[in-house]
Chains A and B, each alone.
Chain A
Amino acid sequence: GEEVAQTPKHLVRGEGQKAKLYCAPIKGHSYVFWYQQVLKNEFKFLISFQNENVFDETGMPKERFSAKCLPNSPCSLEIQATKLEDSAVYFCASSQSPGNIQYFGAGTRLSVL
């Protein structure tokens, strides 16, 4: 597609439940990035992929968070056993090649109650 598509727009989970977010990059973009934005505009990088391979996972929490980009499927970010502090907007971005401009999806707002 012509834009990064993220689903769902909003997700509400009780503490301890699983949350799964999806991202379809712009067609032809090989790189996918996940960011977490909490209050006060703090963006935190989580993980990036080059096609289906993990490119950089230095921002991923060691526990509960996992992500995949499989061929012919949207990329996904999964949080097992959500906690209150996981409440945030999760943005996905894609780019054509390393160092190129990253284009963002509209985000998924996760609320953990």
Chain B
Amino acid sequence: RKEVEQDPGPFNVPEGATVAFNCTYSNSASQSFFWYRQDCRKEPKLLMSVYSSGNEDGRFTAQLNRASQYISLLIRDSKLSDSATYLCVVNGQAGTALIFGKGTTLSVSS
């Protein structure tokens, strides 16, 4: 079983749509959780950290369920500029490497 699993997509949605990405992780000892965004093989950029209490940043909402080892990302009112690959990322013990999912590709069209 992969340490971090994501549906690769692609998700093709029209502008204005709401889209949800899911991710599961295998190591119950994982401590930190993130969504990164990667455009066209450029560097990954942090989209948001993910907390059990859930967190929201504008059109983006992330949620962590530790019991189910499940992470989600919701994007509301999709924009063309949201087209990218979204990487679910888990950090194990503090200071150790990030473990990446394979990424979910989103394509938003007009």
Contacts and interface: CB of A to CB of B under 8 A. Distances in A.
Interface of A: 31, 33, 35, 37, 40-43, 45, 48, 50, 55-56, 59, 89, 91, 93, 97-99, 101-107
Main secondary structure of the interface of A (DSSP, over half): strand
A40 B98 contact: no
Interface of B: 31-32, 34, 38, 41-46, 49, 85, 87, 91, 94-100, 102-103
Contact of B102 (A42, A48, A50, A105): A42
A97 B91 CA distance: 13
A55 B95 contact: yes
Contacts of B95: 31, 48, 50, 55-56, 97-99
A89 to B, nearest CB: 6
B38 A98 contact: no
B43 A91 contact: yes
